[in-house]
Structure 1
Amino acid sequence: MPAGRIPEAYAAAGRRAVPVTLVAAAGFYLFRYGLGSPVAATYALFSAVAVGGLSRIPGTGRQRALLVLRLVPVCWVLVVIGTYLSVRTWSAVLGMLVVGFALAFAAVGGPRAAGAAPGLQLLYILPSFPPYDPGSLAARLVGTTTGLLLYVLASALLFPEPGPSPYCDRAARAAAQAAHCAGLLATPPHTVPRTDVEEAREDGHALRSLTVPEAERPAGPGVRDRALAHTGLATRTLLTRLAQLRLAPGQDPGPEVTVTLRATADLATATASCLHTGTSPVPAYEELVTARARLSLCSAAPVPALAPGFTPEVLRRHAAVLEIADAALAMGAAADLAVRGRHHGVELPPGRFWYASARAPVLWWHRVRGHAGRHSVFFQNAVRIALALTAARLIAGIDTLPHGFWAMLATLTLTRTTVDETWSTIRGALAGTLAGALLTAGILTLAGSDTTVYAAVLPVWMLFAFTVGPVKGVGWAQGLFTVLVALVFAQLSEPTWRLAGERLLDVLIGSVIGAVFGLLAWPRGAHDELRHAAAELLRRAAEIVVATSASVAAGGAVATPTGVPGRRSLGRAVVLAESAYAQYQSEPVRFGAPRARTLRGVDWQAVLIAGHHTLWGSGRLLEPPQPRLGPVAAEQAGALGERVAGRMLLVSAALDPGDDTPTAPPPRVDPAMACATADPADAPRLYYATTSWLDSLLIDLTRIPREGPADEPAPEPAPARR
């Protein structure tokens, strides 16, 4: 960490540590010394530690407080289930398997659900160990509720901090920039200055999920989150199309094109206003629908050569402007749905906004079903942590570890998504735990049974641990936490120096369990899964490209009422690739891994964009009515689609050659090789729209192999230690 950022990191950690410390100490002292209830004291302290220390809920204090308040009933259920299932080892083990998987798999709900999952796991683990006393359930629930509610109040009231820019504001700025660019193209000299093109690129980049704070990412399965993510994708597409549109300076592009571009600018302005104030963009939306229909009608003749003035250049321009209008319409409709929900005013087109009328349980089911498979990194992580926690609970129940709770906590906190990262974490954790155990033994020996010393030191040490641990790393965190739990348990029972050794033994057992399951269950994390997901995405996209071009050539005879077959499979492949890419960004390169195996020279974002472009373009080209192409145009459209699909398959084969085959860099794709062809005389506007779509896909393929400095370089492997 750079030296200039250390104070900022400590300040951020301190702002999170103060509420946890105050709440945990207040709840613990209230029940332990004020009301004489050690059980409630334990649950009050660990509830605050779970949601404030172990959880990593993104956002400001108020945002975290609101989420924790919503999770209070879930915490009650976890404590109740854990209490009643803990009385027998077999029921506790089975419950740990099911609940552990469910809580870990809840990460499919977005960054906030993923951040809260470790804390919820702790609240279920805590009642799964002695004393096995269902009769103390009331005290456990009282302590849990007190700790959670006090944390909600402390997080909401202490250290108010300004929230990051909401995603709606980012989308509104990008929509306003799109309105500016469309207005420039609609007025002489019909060009966009380079400075405006750069601003449009920056505004589009600000909508990418990697540049958006986790708390503001529209990653949830609900209608508003899906619509807001749809808004961002459509706005980025609109900005890209506007930047690529080339009109001859000083030459009138035609009244239909000018009217469509002006209507696009008006809708973009109305979309920005909708995202800011909630005003529905219905008038501007309907105006663009009318303008687009007129532009489409004027160039939709089966043989435009019969109409004077419809040259191939004019038809290409019409196709490009129609793509711009389609992106603007999708942006306006998605923004209206995101802001107004089910009370939206825009009449949504069927298919693209399938989720608009679905209920929350149905949307959650779609999200869960999309990741319910071994190729989903969310599923892999859930299986890995559930099996590790189950094994830890089984060993703790059979061998009757003195503090099996600590072993499970070590398994939960030290297991990582790759085996190398897990091993590196365990080494630091064991070293820190050993140092903490030695310090703990000294403190317990010197203080003896004087609980006043432990009560006085506990809040100071807790503040220090939760401030320094997250900044200094896992070794410091484990060492400081070792002393912390000793200070807590020394006030609950007769303290002895053996407590330090038991803590070290439990952490060692939990670490070994985490390492074993990290080795057995998908040890390479998302590095290899991303290769498989990207290759599968391009294979599915190639099928869609061939089917779409064949349907265009045949006048829509190949497509079904819902589009070409395979669109749903491609959509699921895009979802899996996006989740694997998101986890890949958080994982280090495996130490000593060959450069070719990790495919450091691949722009994974270009792969994802190719999948989105395939879905959107296919749906747009197959909208009725479908004019029939002439023989020459139909033959060329089908041939171009097969060539583009062939190049997709070549890149796909390079990304995923098989587990036993060395990985080679993906081949370079030359767009001129596939689309360099003469303009047929019998080509309607649909032919040029199809070739424009295929051109954009080829551009995406050319960006997959990186040359020179990468836009998003993967982290360099750390130097090997002797």
Structure 2
Amino acid sequence: MGDSVGVWGLRGARLPAAYAASGRRALRVTVVAAAGFYLFRYGLDRPVAATYALFTVVALGGLSRIPGTGRQRAAFMSRLLPVCWALVAVGTCLSVRTWSAVAGMLVIGFTLAFSAVGGPRWAGTAPGLQLLYILPSFPPYDPGSLGDRLIGTTTGLVLFAAAEALLFREPAPVPYRERTARAAMVAEGWAARLAGAPAALGDADVRAAQEAGQALRPLNVPEAERPAGPGARDRALTHTGLAVRTLLGRLVQLPAVRGNDTAPDVTDVLRAVGRLAGATAACLRAQASPAARQRELVEARARLSAVSAGPPSGGSLPPAVLRCHAAVLEVADAALVMGAAADLAVRGKHATVELPPGRFWYATVPAPLLWWHRAIGHAGRRSVFFQNAVRMALALTAVRLVAGVDTLPHGFWAMLATLTLTRTTLGETWSTIRLALAGTLAGALVSAGVLLLVGSDTAVYAVLLPVWMLCAFTLGPVRGVGWAQGLFTVLVALVFAQLAQPTWRLAEVRMLDVLVGSAIGAVFGVLAWPRGAHDELRHAAADLLRRAAEIVVATSASVAGGATAVPTGVPGHRSLERAVVLAESAYAQLQSEPTPLGGRGRGPQPPAVDWQATLIAGHHTLWGSARLLEPPCTSLGPAAAESAGVLGERVAGRMLLVSAALDPGDDTPAAATSLIDPALAGFTTEPADAPRRYYATVAWLNSLMTDLTRIARPPDRSTQA
């Protein structure tokens, strides 16, 4: 009972803010939609243009959820104008025949849904763009009216973009660049402290590192500020955030070394790291070049590497010193990646920092090829973006086929129901449909009553329309899908009553269309990946760990043999990068889906999993392997080579065990289907005369074991959002 009271109290506290935000948005939609509709319908007597002006605003303002401030949304919508023209024109031309309309719905429906791979803005706009294509795909089949359709679409979009930019401006959230700059400033202070008085950071510093890192997690960043696009600048900004988080983590774990003659070299590197972190923050905030500080750190790193990299001879350095050098060089590597990525994110092709080969492969790739690379990465049945696009395209195509063959009256409404009610999981789809049907029935009864009472007096409908539109777009998003469908049912009745002779049977048709559209959506929800991202994330995370295990074994063997490789050119690295991308997209979708009740999938169910730790393990595998395989490489002695190879095989073996526990197969042994504590012995072994490269390898493998331990540990709910 206490939990229930707490939830309702929290919900009650949030309701006023939700109503205020929804009301501001509804007022913008109402003012622009009513203005465009009345201008064309009554001022210019062009009902087709009036319809398209109104529904363009409804599509982009009511159905779409474009993240960002009003000005950001306005700028994005302005760039969409040619896309909207193309959708209306193609929909008009293909609608004259059922077979062409069905084929067009399949191709364009899939393309628009799959455009979500382009980032949150494209994902939020896709439903509205679907509506703009659906609208001309139904009667009247009149290509001659294309001019009026385009005029109405243009007027609605331009007016709504102006309203978004000028009316009810919202406070801008903290940009991702500023969040990253703040984290870099934290790293600057810590590096300076460690250089001045080498000592481990305290518990308060660890908590500060966690808070700074949490602020950069995508799920803690407003959607509009996430660098999730496929372009080089967005990729570089994401790279910067990962590098800063890695730098903070390594500074916290840095061991202290005192009383040895190599301390000045260590201190020089840490001071250079601090100065580069400050320059990175200045670059992100004021576009100042970090190139000079980058070169300074490269030189300091080279001096320290020269002290400890070669095989020891004569007076060899103690293992504790070599271990410290390895950790400090990893700190320097993370800082160098951070500075280079930040410069690329700010300046793009005009970056002033020399980029390390391989890690920033996307820096010189043209934007269309980067989009193609993103699309190809998700063009498979294991991508949740691909699954959602196939599900939606097939459902919309089926509705269009039924409407064309059976001449379903107002089939547009049936497709709109499919578009708005189909969800990523069957359970959520069924729950949504039940609420929607109840709301539509109530709305149909109200509509029938209004149409019977008012009759053909269009003046009454003209007065009621803006008032009802304001209520519908204010209450619907807050009260839920049932209210939204009921209010929208009355809204469309008020609109069409001003375009044609009204009849109470309009409400009956609306109810029938929603029933048909929701039923088809439910059928495809059953047939096409009905479990959403829950099971897909388990498979993606398991596949990620399997591919990471292969790289761990290959990298450890290369280190043991003194070999090098070009890391990003190795097929295993490319496949792991794709596995990380698929797992990240599945994890992001999982956050928007309801928690499943009861067991799911086959085999024993794992306990609660920290999925974020799985993703971080993938990144750590890629970055660590890239560092260890970069020349110059030092050969290991027999004892150190054997130790590195054995530790790599053990870590890879534990990755495979955790992978099997996340997604057990038919041939998985029963002993491997539980997440057990992956602590392993052997990381404290110190072979005689081991060079610094050995300790760098051990540190990398140890960090991977830490990630595996976090995966097996139940996640903290407070840090999962």
TM-score (norm 2): 0.96
Deviation string, structure 1 residues 511-544 (Cα, Å, up to 9, x no partner): 0000000000000000010011001000000000
- Find the counterpart in structure 2 of residue 15 from structure 1: 24
Provide the rounded CA distance (Å) in 1 between the counterparts of 2:101 and 2:212.
51
- Find the counterpart in structure 1 of residue 90 from structure 2: 81
Which secondary structure does the structure 2 equivalent of 1:616 belong to? helix
- Find the counterpart in structure 2 of residue 530 from structure 1: 537
- Find the counterpart in structure 2 of residue 365 from structure 1: 372
Which secondary structure does the structure 2 equivalent of 1:566 belong to? helix
- Find the counterpart in structure 1 of residue 281 from structure 2: 272
Provide the rounded CA distance (Å) in 2 between the counterparts of 1:46 and 1:185.
61
- Find the counterpart in structure 2 of residue 292 from structure 1: 301
Q: CA deviation at 1:663?
A: 12
- Find the counterpart in structure 2 of residue 719 from structure 1: none
- Opposite residue 479 of structure 1, the aligned amino acid is G
Q: CA deviation at 1:626?
A: 1.3
Provide the rounded CA distance (Å) in 2 between the counterparts of 1:217 and 1:535.
26
Query: Are residue 668 (structure 1) and residue 685 (structure 2) matched?
Result: no
Greater shift, 561-570 or 521-530, is seen at 561-570
- Opposite residue 244 of structure 2, the aligned amino acid is T
Which secondary structure does the structure 2 equivalent of 1:704 belong to? helix
Would the aligned equivalents of 1:218 and 1:226 in 2 still touch at CA under 8 Å? yes
Q: Which of 345, 353, 364 is the matching residue for 1:346? A: 353
TM-score (norm 1): 0.96
Deviation string, structure 1 residues 12-41 (Cα, Å, up to 9, x no partner): 101111111011100100011010011000
- Find the counterpart in structure 1 of residue 577 from structure 2: 571
Provide the rounded CA distance (Å) in 1 between the counterparts of 2:298 and 2:406.
71
Cα distance, 1:561–1:21 mapped onto 2, change above 3 Å? closer
Greater shift, 188-197 or 110-119, is seen at 188-197
Provide the rounded CA distance (Å) in 2 between the counterparts of 1:172 and 1:139.
49
Q: Which of 605, 612, 626 is the matching residue for 1:605? A: 612
Cα distance, 1:137–1:565 mapped onto 2, change above 3 Å? closer
Q: Which of 145, 154, 160 is the matching residue for 1:136? A: 145
Deviation string, structure 1 residues 663-713 (Cα, Å, up to 9, x no partner): 986422343x24345311131110000000000000000000224854556
Correspondence list, 1:376-391, <5 A? 376-391=383-398
Provide the rounded CA distance (Å) in 2 between the counterparts of 1:177 and 1:471.
39
- Opposite residue 13 of structure 2, the aligned amino acid is G
- Opposite residue 152 of structure 1, the aligned amino acid is A
Provide the rounded CA distance (Å) in 2 between the counterparts of 1:585 and 1:319.
37
Q: CA deviation at 1:119?
A: 0.3
Query: Are residue 328 (structure 1) and residue 340 (structure 2) matched?
Result: no
Query: Are residue 476 (structure 1) and residue 486 (structure 2) matched?
Result: no
- Find the counterpart in structure 1 of residue 112 from structure 2: 103
Which secondary structure does the structure 1 equivalent of 2:595 belong to? coil
Deviation string, structure 1 residues 159-216 (Cα, Å, up to 9, x no partner): 0111100000000000000000000000025443433332222111100001000000
Which secondary structure does the structure 1 equivalent of 2:310 belong to? coil
Which secondary structure does the structure 2 equivalent of 1:132 belong to? coil
Provide the rounded CA distance (Å) in 2 between the counterparts of 1:85 and 1:205.
49
Q: CA deviation at 1:361?
A: 0.5
- Find the counterpart in structure 1 of residue 270 from structure 2: 261
Q: CA deviation at 1:610?
A: 0.4
Provide the rounded CA distance (Å) in 2 between the counterparts of 1:444 and 1:708.
55
Which secondary structure does the structure 2 equivalent of 1:337 belong to? helix
Would the aligned equivalents of 2:610 and 2:714 in 1 still touch at CA under 8 Å? no
User: Which consecutive unaligned segments of at least 5 residues does structure 1 have?
Assistant: 715-722
Which secondary structure does the structure 1 equivalent of 2:211 belong to? helix
- Find the counterpart in structure 2 of residue 126 from structure 1: 135
Task: Let me know the Cα RMSD of the aligned residues.
Answer: 1.8
Which secondary structure does the structure 2 equivalent of 1:602 belong to? coil
Provide the rounded CA distance (Å) in 2 between the counterparts of 1:590 and 1:599.
14
Which secondary structure does the structure 1 equivalent of 2:408 belong to? coil
Would the aligned equivalents of 1:544 and 1:564 in 2 still touch at CA under 8 Å? no
Kindly tell me the number of residue pairs found equivalent between the two proteins. 710
Provide the rounded CA distance (Å) in 2 between the counterparts of 1:463 and 1:272.
44
- Find the counterpart in structure 2 of residue 439 from structure 1: 446
- Find the counterpart in structure 1 of residue 160 from structure 2: 151
- Find the counterpart in structure 1 of residue 3 from structure 2: none
Query: Are residue 587 (structure 1) and residue 593 (structure 2) matched?
Result: yes
- Opposite residue 182 of structure 1, the aligned amino acid is A
Which secondary structure does the structure 2 equivalent of 1:165 belong to? coil
Provide the rounded CA distance (Å) in 1 between the counterparts of 2:666 and 2:127.
33
- Opposite residue 272 of structure 1, the aligned amino acid is A
Provide the rounded CA distance (Å) in 2 between the counterparts of 1:293 and 1:508.
70
Provide the rounded CA distance (Å) in 1 between the counterparts of 2:205 and 2:258.
16
Would the aligned equivalents of 1:657 and 1:663 in 2 still touch at CA under 8 Å? no
Provide the rounded CA distance (Å) in 2 between the counterparts of 1:384 and 1:710.
31
Q: Which of 499, 504, 511 is the matching residue for 2:511? A: 504
- Find the counterpart in structure 1 of residue 405 from structure 2: 398
Cα distance, 1:565–1:40 mapped onto 2, change above 3 Å? closer
Greater shift, 307-316 or 695-704, is seen at 307-316
Would the aligned equivalents of 1:411 and 1:513 in 2 still touch at CA under 8 Å? yes
Would the aligned equivalents of 1:422 and 1:518 in 2 still touch at CA under 8 Å? yes
- Find the counterpart in structure 2 of residue 241 from structure 1: 250
Q: CA deviation at 1:563?
A: 5.6
Q: Which of 75, 80, 89 is the matching residue for 1:71? A: 80
Q: Percent identity?
A: 72
Deviation string, structure 1 residues 412-436 (Cα, Å, up to 9, x no partner): 0000000000000000000000000
Provide the rounded CA distance (Å) in 1 between the counterparts of 2:604 and 2:471.
42
- Opposite residue 229 of structure 2, the aligned amino acid is G
Provide the rounded CA distance (Å) in 2 between the counterparts of 1:594 and 1:345.
51
Q: Which of 538, 543, 548 is the matching residue for 1:541? A: 548
Moved over 6 A (4+): 249-253, 595-598, 659-665
Cα distance, 1:10–1:309 mapped onto 2, change above 3 Å? same
- Opposite residue 196 of structure 1, the aligned amino acid is D
Which secondary structure does the structure 2 equivalent of 1:374 belong to? coil
- Opposite residue 576 of structure 1, the aligned amino acid is L
Provide the rounded CA distance (Å) in 2 between the counterparts of 1:50 and 1:707.
42
Would the aligned equivalents of 1:538 and 1:648 in 2 still touch at CA under 8 Å? yes
Provide the rounded CA distance (Å) in 2 between the counterparts of 1:26 and 1:223.
40
Would the aligned equivalents of 2:606 and 2:675 in 1 still touch at CA under 8 Å? no
Provide the rounded CA distance (Å) in 1 between the counterparts of 2:192 and 2:672.
46
Cα distance, 1:17–1:243 mapped onto 2, change above 3 Å? same
- Find the counterpart in structure 2 of residue 617 from structure 1: 624
Provide the rounded CA distance (Å) in 1 between the counterparts of 2:13 and 2:672.
40
Deviation string, structure 1 residues 268-318 (Cα, Å, up to 9, x no partner): 00000101100010110000000001111100121x2x2426010000000
- Opposite residue 593 of structure 2, the aligned amino acid is E
- Find the counterpart in structure 2 of residue 91 from structure 1: 100
Greater shift, 234-243 or 657-666, is seen at 657-666
Q: CA deviation at 1:251?
A: 7.8
Q: CA deviation at 1:378?
A: 0.2
- Opposite residue 24 of structure 2, the aligned amino acid is R
- Opposite residue 420 of structure 1, the aligned amino acid is G
Provide the rounded CA distance (Å) in 2 between the counterparts of 1:430 and 1:476.
10
- Find the counterpart in structure 2 of residue 214 from structure 1: 223
Provide the rounded CA distance (Å) in 2 between the counterparts of 1:48 and 1:379.
28
Would the aligned equivalents of 2:568 and 2:574 in 1 still touch at CA under 8 Å? no
Q: Which of 227, 230, 244 is the matching residue for 2:236? A: 227
Would the aligned equivalents of 1:644 and 1:674 in 2 still touch at CA under 8 Å? no
Provide the rounded CA distance (Å) in 1 between the counterparts of 2:130 and 2:310.
63
Provide the rounded CA distance (Å) in 2 between the counterparts of 1:259 and 1:583.
44
- Find the counterpart in structure 1 of residue 4 from structure 2: none
User: Which consecutive unaligned segments of at least 5 residues does structure 2 have?
Assistant: 1-7
Q: Which of 684, 703, 711 is the matching residue for 1:704? A: 711
Q: CA deviation at 1:253?
A: 6.4
- Opposite residue 631 of structure 1, the aligned amino acid is P
